[in-house]
Chain A
Amino acid sequence: QKEVEQDPGPLSVPEGAIVSLNCTYSNSAFQYFMWYRQYSRKGPELLMYTYSSGNKEDGRFTAQVDKSSKYISLFIRDSQPSDSATYLCAMTRTGGFKTIFGAGTRLFVKA
């Protein structure tokens, strides 16, 4: 079993929809949780960064962390065609160097 599980999709939604992306993990030592967006043939770009449990909002993006369930989510409101990309969850332990990534979910937002 992988340390971080993420549904690879693809997920296809109409423009304006609310998108929900999720990851589960098995290592309770993870404390830092990130979401990256990766366009084709580009490097990942950091979208959201949260520490421990709770919610964080930035514009159309909301990240949620539920450590008791070992479950993290990214919500995208009013999705746009430009949001079409692969979304990667990632996490690290306190004091750790190694970041563990999920496999990524491919999202398509149709105009």
Chain B
Amino acid sequence: GAGVSQSPRYKVAKRGQDVALRCDPISGHVSLFWYQQALGQGPEFLTYFQNEAQLDKSGLPSDRFFAERPEGSVSTLKIQRTQQEDSAVYLCASSPPTKDEQYFGPGTRLTVT
């Protein structure tokens, strides 16, 4: 079946603009994760959803970052008033029920100029 998809794949934003990044998880996957991956680093946890409930948002770096999953499937990560330090790849992953393995999407590469 189809894997995790993310859109857009690439996004260039001017400093101060708002951006919205979309994640379509694998059908039937209850858990959804967002990560930020800086160049040359491993992914860093941002937030976690179980269905529509956001159970952990401790990794969101500031109140400019907001994530939602209103119907328990598609999720959107929104970054307001983007800054240069927000430039990174944003990865989405999903997990099936009762399993911990995460399946990653290809990521959205955000460049803030």
Which residues of A are interface residues toward B (Cβ below 8 A)? 4, 6, 8, 32, 34, 36, 41-46, 49, 88, 90, 92, 97-104
Query: Number of residue pairs across A and B with beta carbons under 8 Å?
Result: 56
Total contacting residues, chain B, CB less than 8 A: 26
> In the complex, which residues of chain B have a beta carbon less than 8 angstroms from the beta carbon of A42?
106-107
Contact between B107 and A98, CB atoms less than 8 A apart = no
A-B contact list, 13 entries, CB within 8 Å? A32-B100, A41-B106, A41-B107, A42-B107, A44-B91, A46-B103, A49-B101, A98-B45, A98-B48, A98-B59, A99-B102, A103-B42, A104-B40
* Closest A residue, CB atoms, query B100: A32
Contact between A46 and B102, CB atoms less than 8 A apart = yes
Q: Pick from B43, B44, B101 the residue with the most CB of A within 10 Å.
A: B43
Contact between A101 and B43, CB atoms less than 8 A apart = yes
Give the shortest distance, in Å, between B56 (CB) and chain A (any CB).
Answer: 5
Task: Give the CA-CA distance A102 to B44 in the complex, in Å.
Answer: 9
* Closest A residue, CB atoms, query B42: A101
Please name 6 further chain A to chain B contacts, defined as beta carbons within 8 Å, in addition to the given A41-B109, A43-B4, A101-B42, sorted by A numbering: A4-B42, A98-B58, A99-B102, A100-B45, A102-B42, A103-B40
Contact between B42 and A92, CB atoms less than 8 A apart = no
> In the complex, which residues of chain B have a beta carbon less than 8 angstroms from the beta carbon of A46?
101-103
> In the complex, which residues of chain B have a beta carbon less than 8 angstroms from the beta carbon of A32?
100
Q: Which of B56, B101, B104 contacts A97 (CB 8 A)?
A: B56
A43 with B48, Cβ < 8 A, contacts A8-B40, A104-B41 known: no
